[in-house]
A and B are shown apart, each in its own frame.
Chain A
Amino acid sequence: MVPSRTHPTLRALVKGQTKPELHFLALKILLSRLQMATRFDPSETNFSAQIDALHEFFVKNESLS
């Protein structure tokens, strides 16, 4: 089951604070882009949007888990 978008792990991933070993290519590339986007625009609004994008990715790919 995918955690809610408010789960702190999602924020930590987008911030780059946690760096798990990833095995899914699309997730590696997506996460890199989300992290870069937050460096370019560190506003909370943008940060929230990047977390939404990451959460959507996990929801739509849940069947692959």
Chain B
Amino acid sequence: MNNCLLSVSEAAKLVQTGRVFLFAGAAEVLDQLPVGNWIGGTIPYFMSEDGGQHETTRLFVTELPVAQETCRFTSYTPESISQVAMDADPGVLTFIILPGFSTVHQVYAKGAPDFEGMYMRPIVGWISGVDLDQIGKVLPKTYDGKTGESYTDRAVTVHAPLPAGVNARIDILNLFIPGDGPTLRFDETSFTVGECEVNGERVNLADYLAANQLDIRLPLVADYCGANINASFQSVCPETRQVSPSSPEWNTASPLPWPTTRIPLPAWFRRT
């Protein structure tokens, strides 16, 4: 049973084997897991063999094919997250989960490209979340299964040594591609966006999206030397005229119209 949804009792049995796992699910079910060699994060949306699912009673499990006795479980605060890459020795693959919209999430999103060792150590992971209806009411969490602690503002990791001669290769599968259209430039990396530049013209992004009837279900896509990186929309508030991205790394400008966007020049290097 791997990369699938399980009941709490099934997941608990797996934990008791002592093997190393990643869990995702609602807080109410993650809270029921026993301590063990696992990390977890909240989210009720999954992609299973049955397609996209909204699930609040079961957990998604991924078993890591690593030796449990050599793994190291660590949590990071906003102040310590910059050490995450250097905490991993050569030959170690790090799995990380960060609580969505938290300070540590923002620190990581903004600063990770400049963390020491960031391009020398493979790190893969995800951002925990909550039901879309609960955004602003309930905070996403992460779980350190070794201690049983859960956090709203700490990243959790497992640093997993790989067997000798084995190297991790991390890549991205992206359903979207860059395309043609105007170029967007943002002043800074943030969880909210008011104004930006569209083809050099200063506009309010919420107004621009509305005026052009653009579908915000589709993301911006930036091309980093052949790596297509998405930046998606969480919400647009007509009253405040603010746009909220799902992640704060909106330092990339991408052309419109949706769904394809072209290579931008990332706004972070044009930050004033």
Chain A, interface SS category: helix
Query: Is there contact, CB below 8 Å, between B170 and A25?
Result: yes
Question: B265 — which chain A residues lie within 8 A by C-beta?
Answer: 36, 39
Return the chain A residue nearest B114 by Cβ: A33
Query: Is there contact, CB below 8 Å, between A22 and B225?
Result: yes
Query: Is there contact, CB below 8 Å, between A40 and B120?
Result: no
Binding site for A on B (CB under 8 A): 113, 119-120, 122, 167, 169-172, 224-227, 229, 265-266, 268-270
With A40-B270, A63-B167 given, is the CB distance from A57 to B119 under 8 Å? yes
Q: How far is the CB of A37 from chain B (nearest CB, A)?
A: 7
Please measure, in the bound complex, the distance between the C-alpha atom of A24 and the C-alpha atom of B224, giving whole angstroms: 12
Interface size on A, residues (CB 8 A): 23
The reply on A29 being an interface residue by CB < 8 A is yes
Other CB < 8 Å A-B pairs besides A32-B225, A35-B225, A63-B167, 16 of them? A21-B226, A25-B170, A26-B170, A27-B225, A28-B226, A29-B113, A29-B224, A29-B227, A29-B229, A31-B225, A32-B227, A32-B266, A40-B269, A57-B120, A60-B120, A64-B167
Return the chain A residue nearest B165 by Cβ: A63
The reply on A30 being an interface residue by CB < 8 A is yes
The reply on A6 being an interface residue by CB < 8 A is no
Please measure, in the bound complex, the distance between the C-alpha atom of A19 and the C-alpha atom of B224, giving whole angstroms: 12
Binding site for B on A (CB under 8 A): 19, 21-22, 24-33, 35-37, 39-40, 57, 60-61, 63-64
Q: Which of B167, B170, B224, B270 makes the CB contact (< 8 A) with A32?
A: B224
Question: B224 — which chain A residues lie within 8 A by C-beta?
Answer: 28-29, 31-33
Query: Is there contact, CB below 8 Å, between A26 and B269?
Result: no
Q: Which of A39, A57, A61, A63 makes the CB contact (< 8 A) with B269?
A: A39
Query: Is there contact, CB below 8 Å, between B120 and A22?
Result: no
Query: Is there contact, CB below 8 Å, between A24 and B225?
Result: no
Return the chain B residue nearest A30 by Cβ: B119
